[in-house]
Amino acid sequence: MEFLNTFFHFFTDKTRRLSSKAIISIIVVALIILIDNTLSFSYYYNTENKIEQVSSINKVLTDSTLNKTEKNQLLKLRQQIINRKTWKDKTWDLVSNMNFSTENTTNENHTVEKVENEITERSYLWHFISSSWLILILLIAFPFVGIFDKKTPFAQAIGILLILEPFLYGIAWIFAKVFSFIPVILNNPIYNYVLNAILCIGVFALFGIFGKKKTTANNV
């Protein structure tokens, strides 16, 4: 109970910054997801529920009084249960699937030559780099900063990096995912790469301006 009281006090303490609370919240959620993925609690729970529901439907299907329409409905329901995805599966599909769906409308005409289609398609690598180049620089720089920082104990620096690096990579992936919804500009993905790079630095500039105004307001 003492731990829960301390944890609750951390989030209700008005002297602590909102950014610190947000970071801790993200870390806690990430740890819960990591533990769940490692031990597969939700996976086994959902699988067991599916098996029970499918078994129940199979028993009902053996009823000779069912007509053809009712059996088809039960079979359809069974298929829906088997194929049903959890919120975690749907979230992972949304985050990991960067298929540039807007490009399907660009290449609807199948008579266009293959070479031309390849030109108008974006490269996953260059899209990711251009969308989050500032974050990638931080990802590369922080390990060197942690190693050569004499003021911070080595073990503590490693611990910070183990938390910070995946967090930054997640932010970089979010940038790339959001920018993937921008259609190919003038059938030339190079324009998209340039726009991605500008938007990336623009977002950081906005955060910098907002943070500076907040600091100035607090000092007044």
**For residue 160, pLDDT beyond 70:** yes
**For residue 106, pLDDT beyond 50:** no
The SS3 assignment for 151 reads coil
Q: How much is the pLDDT for 63? A: 92
More confident residue, 87 or 104: 87
Instruction: Judge contact between 172 and 105, C-beta under 8 A.
Output: no
The mean pLDDT of 164-171, rounded to a whole number, is: 84
Instruction: Judge contact between 172 and 135, C-beta under 8 A.
Output: yes
Residue 35 confidence class, pLDDT cut points 50, 70, 90: confident
Q: Could you read off the pLDDT of 114-137 as tens digits, one per residue?
A: 444 555 788 888 999 999 999 999
Q: How much is the pLDDT for 13? A: 60
Dist. CA 75–CA 67, nearest whole Å: 12
Q: How much is the pLDDT for 14? A: 63
- Which tokens go with 140? 């590369």
Dist. CA 211–CA 166, nearest whole Å: 23
